[in-house]
Structure 1
Amino acid sequence: MKVFAVGTIIKPLTDEEQQRIMPKEVPHTLQLYLDGKIDQFWFRHDTPGVIFLMNAATVEEAKASLDTLPLVENGLMTFDLTPVGPLAPLGRLIPQ
């Protein structure tokens, strides 16, 4: 299953929080990528945050992975999770 995880910063980081949290956040995110839990990632241009395309057996599994991120643990970021899959109606275009 694929899950879109749309992350939003809910409270701007203070300078102290940036210095304390971001050196942990980036390596943690990269480890989720290297572990195959994050397939692709993007920076949001509409508001501070990120979008991840995740590999997970369930939405709950994706949430559990994201809950370990330092920004989430510190109550600074939340994620909206949406399970996605193949565009099934396209099958109607294939002749039987």
Structure 2
Amino acid sequence: MKVLAIGNIVKPITDEQRAQVMPQEVPATLKLYLDARIEQFWFRTDKPGVVFLMNVDSIEQAKASVEALPLTAGGFIQYELMPLGPLAPLGMLLQAR
């Protein structure tokens, strides 16, 4: 299943904290990408945060994956998880034939 994980910074991170956390965050995120749990990722341009398009078995797996990331575990970022599916109303166009 596809899940859109929208990350919002909820606690400012100091330069010192960033220096401690990011060397762990980047490899942990890369591992999720290499394990094919994160299919695509972006940096938000409207405010600090990230967006992941995830390929997971369940919403619970997506939640466990992002909650294990160091920035999330440290309370700096929270994710809104949105399950995605096919655009079902398009099926009505096929039925109309």
TM-score by length of 1: 0.95
- CA drift at 1:12: 1.4
2:48 aligned with 1:19, yes or no? Answer: no
Partner of 2:28: 28
What does 1:69-80 correspond to in 2, within 5 Å?
69-80=69-80
Unaligned runs of 5+ in 1: none
Q: Distance in 2 between matches of 1:85 and 1:59?
A: 12
Q: Aligned pair 1:42/2:39, yes or no?
A: no
* 4+ runs deviating over 2 angstroms: none
CA RMSD, aligned part only? 1.0
Matching residue of 1:86: 86
CA distance in structure 2 between the aligned counterparts of 1:73 and 1:39, rounded to whole angstroms? 22
The Cα of 1:16 is off from its aligned counterpart by: 1.1
Match of 1:58 in 2: 58
| 1:67 correspondence with 2:67 | yes
Gaps of 5+ in 2: none
| Number of residue equivalences | 96
Q: CA deviation at 1:23?
A: 0.9
